[in-house]
Amino acid sequence: MNLSTRLRTEDHLANPDDVYNLLIEAHRDLSPEQSRLLDAKLILLLTNHIGDPALLADAIAIAKTGLTADGS
Protein backbone atom coordinates (compact mmCIF):
# COMPACT_ATOMS: atom_id res chain seq x y z
CA MET A 1 0.00 0.00 0.00
CA ASN A 2 1.48 3.32 -1.08
CA LEU A 3 0.22 5.79 1.50
CA SER A 4 0.80 9.52 1.49
CA THR A 5 3.70 10.78 3.54
CA ARG A 6 1.67 13.95 4.16
CA LEU A 7 -0.74 12.19 6.52
CA ARG A 8 0.22 12.55 10.16
CA THR A 9 0.00 9.24 11.98
CA GLU A 10 2.29 10.00 14.90
CA ASP A 11 0.95 11.50 18.12
CA HIS A 12 0.23 15.16 17.46
CA LEU A 13 -2.18 16.17 20.23
CA ALA A 14 -0.83 18.07 23.19
CA ASN A 15 -3.64 16.70 25.39
CA PRO A 16 -5.10 13.56 23.80
CA ASP A 17 -7.22 12.80 26.86
CA ASP A 18 -8.94 16.19 26.51
CA VAL A 19 -9.74 15.46 22.86
CA TYR A 20 -11.03 11.99 23.74
CA ASN A 21 -13.24 13.45 26.46
CA LEU A 22 -14.53 16.11 24.06
CA LEU A 23 -15.58 13.41 21.61
CA ILE A 24 -17.18 11.28 24.31
CA GLU A 25 -19.08 14.26 25.74
CA ALA A 26 -20.38 15.14 22.27
CA HIS A 27 -22.19 11.77 22.28
CA ARG A 28 -23.60 12.02 25.80
CA ASP A 29 -27.39 11.71 25.94
CA LEU A 30 -27.67 10.94 22.21
CA SER A 31 -29.52 7.91 20.91
CA PRO A 32 -27.47 5.42 18.86
CA GLU A 33 -29.01 6.89 15.68
CA GLN A 34 -28.18 10.47 16.75
CA SER A 35 -24.66 9.36 17.65
CA ARG A 36 -24.12 7.86 14.18
CA LEU A 37 -25.49 11.05 12.61
CA LEU A 38 -23.12 13.17 14.71
CA ASP A 39 -20.20 10.99 13.59
CA ALA A 40 -21.25 11.30 9.94
CA LYS A 41 -21.58 15.09 10.17
CA LEU A 42 -18.22 15.38 11.93
CA ILE A 43 -16.57 13.20 9.28
CA LEU A 44 -18.01 15.35 6.48
CA LEU A 45 -16.96 18.60 8.17
CA LEU A 46 -13.41 17.36 8.73
CA THR A 47 -13.26 15.90 5.21
CA ASN A 48 -14.17 19.31 3.82
CA HIS A 49 -11.50 20.88 6.02
CA ILE A 50 -8.87 18.45 4.70
CA GLY A 51 -9.96 19.13 1.13
CA ASP A 52 -7.61 16.58 -0.44
CA PRO A 53 -9.23 13.39 -1.78
CA ALA A 54 -5.88 11.53 -1.98
CA LEU A 55 -5.08 12.35 1.63
CA LEU A 56 -8.56 11.28 2.68
CA ALA A 57 -8.14 8.00 0.76
CA ASP A 58 -4.90 7.37 2.67
CA ALA A 59 -6.64 8.08 5.98
CA ILE A 60 -9.45 5.67 5.10
CA ALA A 61 -6.97 2.95 4.17
CA ILE A 62 -5.09 3.37 7.45
CA ALA A 63 -8.31 3.45 9.49
CA LYS A 64 -9.51 0.22 7.83
CA THR A 65 -6.26 -1.63 8.55
CA GLY A 66 -6.98 -4.73 10.57
CA LEU A 67 -10.77 -4.49 10.35
CA THR A 68 -12.57 -7.69 9.47
CA ALA A 69 -15.78 -8.31 7.56
CA ASP A 70 -17.67 -8.83 10.84
CA GLY A 71 -16.96 -5.23 11.88
CA SER A 72 -14.28 -5.89 14.49
pLDDT (tens digit, 9 = 90+) per residue, 46-63? 999 999 999 999 999 999
Residue 1 has pLDDT above 50, yes or no: no
> Mind giving me the DSSP string for 3-68?
--TTS--S---S-HHHHHHHHHHHHTT--HHHHHHHHHHHHHHHHHHH--HHHHHHHHHHHHTT--
| Residue numbers of the domain that contains 50 | 31-63
Position 36 in a domain? yes
Position 40 in a domain? yes
Position 57 in a domain? yes
Identify which has the larger pLDDT, 34 or 11.
34
Position 46 in a domain? yes
The model's pTM is 0.75
Q: Average pLDDT, stretch 37-49?
A: 96
Number of domains present in the structure of the chain? 1
Position 47 in a domain? yes
Position 38 in a domain? yes
Position 71 in a domain? no
